[in-house]
């Protein structure tokens, strides 16, 4: 178990990504939270959607295999923006990148950005250059984007920083003479981002590579700026090749023989010899619809009518391909403020126009009701995740089960649409001693369900579920019905001197409660590999009113906590 990401404070203590969690825990008082890759990617995709205010072509970096960038990259961490010809609209490339930096800050992200002629060069500069310039507030233009929801609120890690995405943005070199060159028309912006409180977030940094200087800009950078595999990077180190310049000094034929064709491809992409397309997150263009209004309007009826028409169009397209939408994004661009992004998640793929319209309009109404009237200029609708519609022949007497599935899917969609995807969940038990980690909640919508598991897997998972069950059905009163999200410190008292035994009285909800009976201790300890160990002694206690509580003594500090109750 290794560290996926860490904040600045942790880095100052010597913790780095890739380090074993047990080693990181040994460095001092650190808080360790579980990394959720799915949520991470969701947030990056959401950023990519919002970044379309700067460029119509936004994508994520592609990771064909685990790459080495000073650490293993398992998931996309960079946003790629094609800003060819866009700089002048923002007052120049420098102004553009500063606006992007301010926008990232408003989203509580720290970004490392670069504009260059190729994706590879921009990535290398953003990730590895030590000469990036900070986006200072005095430089900054008014913030270009305010998002719906902040990452710190949505993240399970709360406001604790979490390393996420690096990004890259590419832009067209300012020199017009380069526009005709196919190789030079691409560039990227990269931003390495981390969640923090806005006031604590350092200003993003950026670098701009002059037109035609891509090869020169990456020369002095370390070899891992080439986005190569860990094995290739180790081999280069063994040969004493530490910078890209030292690699370029060698004959190409030798490099191809020793490191393979992919290595040369990466080298060419970084130096601008080879074009690298940006794969947009939009996926198939068929699922992206847009409607530009003839004039900006605040009339809600017109906006809703336009959305309904786009949904009808999308429904027809999905129907013709035999597919259904699992996630839909609706973007409203306003005349004078940042866009509004609505995310719709569905439990099962669907192309039913009426159902989709109801979900989107309900969410649109609740958003517009909370905000002051703004003039809408453009409406975009985008099915970001689709899946084939599954038609399964039902048994003659199984029609009720099929109807149930259909009704429940509708209920989940409606609840998720109004309350949010993260408020309609499914619980899964986990084999963890620590009570708060003994289950995991997962959103029910916006996920692709890949059919039933194989029989063997199903059997095994059932057996596992039975083993994991805590409390088991043979010991039903062992765990509480209610668990506090974070244990509540309580004042306790004994009739004599304080002992390790459960207290005679404890203070809860404004009054002292007398303990008349107790069962315990049940010692629960978290695994050492999960970081600073939790060592607790739990007691089930009954007070004089007959109420049952679950309290524990922290063996490290000796303090008592209320963790739940048996209602």
Partner 1 sequence: MEAQRRLIHQLAREVRHLETAGRRQAGRVVSSGCPAMDRLLASHGYEPGSVVEYLRSGRACGATYFALAAAASAQAARDGYLVIVDRWRRLYPPQLLAHKIDLQRTIWVYPDSDRDAVWALDQALRTAAVSAVVAEVDGLDSRAARRLQLAAETGGGLGLLVRPAEVRRHPSWSEVQWLIRPDPTARGAVGMHRGRRLRAHLLRNRGGRSGAVATLQIDGLSGQIVASDQSATDRGNGNEQTGAVHLAAELARPKDIGRDAAAG
Write out the residues near partner 1 by the rule CB under 8 A.
401, 403-405, 407-408, 410-412, 414-415, 418-419, 422-429, 435, 438-439, 441, 444, 469-477, 479-485, 494-496, 501-502, 504, 509, 515-522, 540, 542, 545-549, 564-567
Instruction: Name the residue nearer to partner 1 (CB basis): 305 or 398.
Output: 398
User: Collapsing DSSP states into helix, strand and coil, what is residue 550?
Assistant: strand
Distances (CA, A) of 243 to 75, 191, 297: 25, 22, 55
Q: What's the 3-state SS for 149-177?
A: CCHHHHCCCCCCCCECCCCEEEECCCCHH
DSSP annotation of 453: P
Instruction: Name the residue nearer to partner 1 (CB basis): 490 or 542.
Output: 542
To partner 1, the closest distance from the beta carbon of 534 in angstroms equals 17
Q: Among all chains, which residue has been given the structure tokens 């800009």? A: 217
Instruction: Name the residue nearer to partner 1 (CB basis): 65 or 431.
Output: 431
To partner 1, the closest distance from the beta carbon of 161 in angstroms equals 24
To partner 1, the closest distance from the beta carbon of 481 in angstroms equals 5
Task: Decide the pairing of beta strands 112-115 and 205-208.
Answer: parallel
To partner 1, the closest distance from the beta carbon of 352 in angstroms equals 17
Instruction: Name the residue nearer to partner 1 (CB basis): 327 or 410.
Output: 410
Instruction: Name the residue nearer to partner 1 (CB basis): 103 or 560.
Output: 560
Cα separation, 87 vs 173, whole angstroms: 9
To partner 1, the closest distance from the beta carbon of 362 in angstroms equals 11
Q: What are phi and psi of 481, to 5 degrees?
A: -80, -25
To partner 1, the closest distance from the beta carbon of 483 in angstroms equals 4
To partner 1, the closest distance from the beta carbon of 561 in angstroms equals 15
To partner 1, the closest distance from the beta carbon of 183 in angstroms equals 51
Q: What are phi and psi of 302, to 5 degrees?
A: -65, -45
Instruction: Name the residue nearer to partner 1 (CB basis): 334 or 566.
Output: 566
Instruction: Name the residue nearer to partner 1 (CB basis): 299 or 407.
Output: 407
Instruction: Name the residue nearer to partner 1 (CB basis): 435 or 532.
Output: 435
Cβ atoms of 321 and 397 within 8 Å: the answer is no
User: Collapsing DSSP states into helix, strand and coil, what is residue 115?
Assistant: strand
To partner 1, the closest distance from the beta carbon of 345 in angstroms equals 14
Instruction: Name the residue nearer to partner 1 (CB basis): 36 or 312.
Output: 36
To partner 1, the closest distance from the beta carbon of 92 in angstroms equals 43
To partner 1, the closest distance from the beta carbon of 233 in angstroms equals 44
**549 has which bridge partners?**
541, 565
Instruction: Name the residue nearer to partner 1 (CB basis): 254 or 558.
Output: 558
Instruction: Name the residue nearer to partner 1 (CB basis): 253 or 454.
Output: 454
For residue 40 the two structure tokens come to: 């991470």
Closest CA to 188 of 263, 107, 280, 67: 280
To partner 1, the closest distance from the beta carbon of 411 in angstroms equals 5
Q: Is 370 left (phi over 0), alpha (psi -120 to 50) or beta?
A: alpha
DSSP state string for 312-377 = HHHHHHHHHHTEEEEEEEEEEEESSS--EEEEEEEEEEE--HHHHHHHHHHHHHHHHHHS----EE
**208 has which bridge partners?**
115
Cα separation, 363 vs 346, whole angstroms: 13
Cα separation, 260 vs 253, whole angstroms: 10
Separation of first and last alpha carbons in the chain: 37
Does the N-terminal peptide bond of residue 455 adopt cis geometry, omega within 30 degrees of 0? no
Instruction: Name the residue nearer to partner 1 (CB basis): 142 or 485.
Output: 485
Output b/e per residue, 546-562; b: 16+ Cβ within 10 A. eebbbbbbebeeeebbb
């Amino acid at each position: 178990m290794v560290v996926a990401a860490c904040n600045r404070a942790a880095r100052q203590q010597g913790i780095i990504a890739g380090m074993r969690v047990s080693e990181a825990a040994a460095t001092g008082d650190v808080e360790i939270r579980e990394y959720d890759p799915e949520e991470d990617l969701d947030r990056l995709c959401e950023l990519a959607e919002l970044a379309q205010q700067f460029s119509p072509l936004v994508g994520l970096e592609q990771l064909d295999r685990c790459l080495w960038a000073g650490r293993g990259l398992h998931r996309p961490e960079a946003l790629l923006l094609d800003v060819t010809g866009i700089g002048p609209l923002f007052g120049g490339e420098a102004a553009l990148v500063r606006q992007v930096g301010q926008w990232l800050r408003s989203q509580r992200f720290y970004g490392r950005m670069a504009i260059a002629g190729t994706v590879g060069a921009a990535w290398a500069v953003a990730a590895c250059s030590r000469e990036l310039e900070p986006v200072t507030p005095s430089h900054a233009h008014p913030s270009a984007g305010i998002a719906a929801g902040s990452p710190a609120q949505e993240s399970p890690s709360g406001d604790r920083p979490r390393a996420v995405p690096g990004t890259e943005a590419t832009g067209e070199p300012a020199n017009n003479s380069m526009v005709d060159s196919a190789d030079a028309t691409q560039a990227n912006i990269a931003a390495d981002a981390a969640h923090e409180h806005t006031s604590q977030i350092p200003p993003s940094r950026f670098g701009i590579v002059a037109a035609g200087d891509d090869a020169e800009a990456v020369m002095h950078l370390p070899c891992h700026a080439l986005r190569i595999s860990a094995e290739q990077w180790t081999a280069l180190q063994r040969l004493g090749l530490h910078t890209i310049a030292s690699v370029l000094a060698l004959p190409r034929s030798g490099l191809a023989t020793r490191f393979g064709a992919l290595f040369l491809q990466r080298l060419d992409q970084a130096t601008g010899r080879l074009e690298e397309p940006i794969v947009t997150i939009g996926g198939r263009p068929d699922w992206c619809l847009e409607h530009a209004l003839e004039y900006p309007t605040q009339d809600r009826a017109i906006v809703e009518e336009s959305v309904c028409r786009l949904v009808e169009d999308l429904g027809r397209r999905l129907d013709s391909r035999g597919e259904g939408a699992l996630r839909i994004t609706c973007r409203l661009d306003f005349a004078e403020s940042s866009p509004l992004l609505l995310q719709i998640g569905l439990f099962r793929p669907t192309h039913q126009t009426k159902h989709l319209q109801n979900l989107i309009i309900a969410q649109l109404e609740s958003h517009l009701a909370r905000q002051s009237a703004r003039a809408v200029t453009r409406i975009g609708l985008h099915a970001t995740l689709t899946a084939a519609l599954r038609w399964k022949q039902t048994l003659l007497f199984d029609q009720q089960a099929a109807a149930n599935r259909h009704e429940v899917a509708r209920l989940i969609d409606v609840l998720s649409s109004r309350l949010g995807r993260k408020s309609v969940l499914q619980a899964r038990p986990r084999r963890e001693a620590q009570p708060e980690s003994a289950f995991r909640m997962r959103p029910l919508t916006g996920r692709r369900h890949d059919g039933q598991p194989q029989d063997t897997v199903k059997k095994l998972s059932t057996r596992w579920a039975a083993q994991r069950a805590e409390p088991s059905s043979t010991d039903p009163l062992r765990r509480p019905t209610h668990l506090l999200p974070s244990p509540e410190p309580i004042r306790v008292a004994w009739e004599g001197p304080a002992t390790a035994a459960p207290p005679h009285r404890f203070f809860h909800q404004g009054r002292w409660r007398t303990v008349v009976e107790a069962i315990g201790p049940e010692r629960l300890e978290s695994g050492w590999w999960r970081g600073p160990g939790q060592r607790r002694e739990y007691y089930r206690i009954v007070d004089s009113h007959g109420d049952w509580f679950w309290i524990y003594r922290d063996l490290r500090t000796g303090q008592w906590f209320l963790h739940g109750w048996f209602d």
